[in-house]
Amino acid sequence: MSSSESTGLWVIRWRIEMSAKPCRRGIWRLRGGGFFVRARVTDPRTGKEYQLSQILRGERVRMREALDAQAQLRGEATARIQGRTRSRTHWSAYAASLFDAKVTERKIKSAASRRRWADTLTLLVPAFGMLYVDELRYADLATWRDQVARWIRDGMPSRRERDAGKNRIVPLSPVTANGWISILKVVCAAMTKHFELDRNPAAALEYFPTGRTYSREQPNALTARQARVFLATMKRMFPQHYAMVFFGFVSGARPSTLRPLRRQGDVTDLKWDERVILLRRSNTLGDEIMDETKTALDQEIPLPPLAIRVLREHIAALPEGPMRASPYLFPSVTGGMRSRSVLDKPFRHVLKALSWTIKLSPKGMRRTFNDLARDAQVHDVVTRAISGHETERMQRHYSTAQREEMREAVGRVISLAVERAKRRAPRKQSAPP
């Protein structure tokens, strides 16, 4: 049977019995009531024709409904040509594929970043995972943000495995919440671009205010005098950690860069003959070593005699066994890398022994280095070359203007202002006799 076979006023076309002639362009009446509706749109770029059809059965179906259906079909065909067809991809599937692609392309490099993404997606998928990417709206995200705001105020259920089933409530930091929002924004921005959506639902989503990271009372940095006292006390109480802390203060190197430093083996970072140390690896989580620093820049730091002496004394003091045989410059007692928290306890005990009320974390070594370099009048270009800061903005972010240098600066300004005022003041003329 051909695609169109006549049976009087009716024909069988596309295996459907309909009127021999269309009652409107692309619309045929069905025998028994209703309409067969077809829409055809041609892609102007390729000449390819897209056809969509729909059957409306029933004696009560009117021509207006058929025309509306045809207009909808024509819109869908046009959207397909323009790449605006509705996506049937769930948000969870796209977020997982984006995460995998970023890891594959090494846009997410460190183990800590991979864990952060995985933990965040575990939180976000229950909220948005079953929505199709083009169904996600700002209202959905705003409702979720409201819940996070309540968690920040009242605490949130613990997500730790050891707390499973205990209904334990733990505090939530705005900084942590903003990390979730940041990843959500990345996924939604990539999703909007990939599917050519009309709008990014997360574009207007706001971060939570975090308040002061560092304050006048708690700058997480030491003055030159405090640094001398702190290092001397560290050497007395924890001699096994002194060299690592010393190098952190005088080079501004991140703890994650200090842990994987190698002093022996096939590829060493400590070059005794050249008196330089190379910072070119990073360890952010577990035993995984990333073969580049956080900024992806290899650093070569020349070592003065005192630094050489401190490192030689440190190596000579390593006990026989795993630590002496270890390739690492600052090995653990088992000969492997030290843990991320290895300096937390020594820092707390030294501060307590000194009866200091300031809070100082191992990251404060980097902030202190920038302040000490400025106090020593080291040029900014040299400071950034040592610390690895790529921009002046980041260098300022890790710096704290100390009280004495500010007092001295204000004094110099006053001196200039007063001297100029004296020079410009007119001399009093003597009274006439």
pTM of the model: 0.63
pLDDT at residue 109, rounded to an integer: 84
pLDDT at residue 387, rounded to an integer: 63
The tens digit of pLDDT for each residue in 334-354 reads 999 999 899 999 999 999 999
- For residues 156 and 172, is the Cβ–Cβ distance under 8 A? yes
The tens digit of pLDDT for each residue in 59-83 reads 888 999 999 988 888 887 787 777 6
Cβ atoms within 10 Å of 199's Cβ, excluding its own: 11
Inter-residue long-range contacts of 280-287, CB under 8 Å, 24+ positions, other chains counted: 281/257, 282/110, 282/254, 282/256, 282/257, 283/256, 283/259, 283/337, 284/110, 284/111, 284/112, 284/113, 284/256, 284/340, 285/110, 285/111, 285/112, 285/115, 285/340, 286/111, 287/336, 287/337
Element (H, E) at 278: strand 276-279
pLDDT band for position 5 (50/70/90)?
A: very low
The tens digit of pLDDT for each residue in 72-113 reads 888 877 877 776 555 568 898 889 989 988 888 888 888 888
pLDDT at residue 433, rounded to an integer: 47
Report the distance separating Cα 156 and Cα 154, nearest Å. Answer: 7
Residue whose entry in the numeric block shows the structure tokens 């620093």:
293
pLDDT at residue 344, rounded to an integer: 93
Q: Render 9-69 in DSSP notation, one character per residue.
A: TEEEETTEEEESS-SBTTEEEBTTSEEEEEEEEE-TTT--EEEEEEEEESTT--HHHHHHH
The tens digit of pLDDT for each residue in 277-299 reads 888 888 888 888 888 877 777 88
pLDDT at residue 274, rounded to an integer: 87
pLDDT higher than threshold 80 for residue 409:
no
| Averaged pLDDT for residues 54-62 | 86
pLDDT at residue 4, rounded to an integer: 47
Residue whose entry in the numeric block shows the structure tokens 């049937």:
88
Report the distance separating Cα 45 and Cα 39, nearest Å. Answer: 19
- Structure-model confidence comparison of residues 235 and 223, the more confident one: 235
Return the SS3 of 217.
Answer: coil
Which amino acid is residue 289, in one-letter code?
Answer: I
The tens digit of pLDDT for each residue in 8-50 reads 688 888 778 889 999 999 999 998 899 999 988 888 878 878 7
The tens digit of pLDDT for each residue in 150-202 reads 999 999 988 887 877 788 899 999 999 999 999 999 999 999 988 878 889 99
- For residues 207 and 178, is the Cβ–Cβ distance under 8 A? yes
Q: Write down the mean pLDDT value for the chain.
A: 83
| Averaged pLDDT for residues 111-119 | 91
pLDDT at residue 121, rounded to an integer: 93
| Averaged pLDDT for residues 414-420 | 60
pLDDT at residue 155, rounded to an integer: 92
Q: Render 74-127 in DSSP notation, one character per residue.
A: HHHHHHHHTT-PPP--BHHHHHHHHHHHHHHTTSS-SHHHHHHHHHHHHHHHHH
Burial 76-85 (b: 16+ CB within 10 A, else e): bbeeebeebe
pLDDT at residue 288, rounded to an integer: 84
- DSSP-derived secondary structure letter, 262: B
Cβ atoms within 10 Å of 66's Cβ, excluding its own: 22
pLDDT band for position 1 (50/70/90)?
A: very low
pLDDT higher than threshold 60 for residue 316:
yes
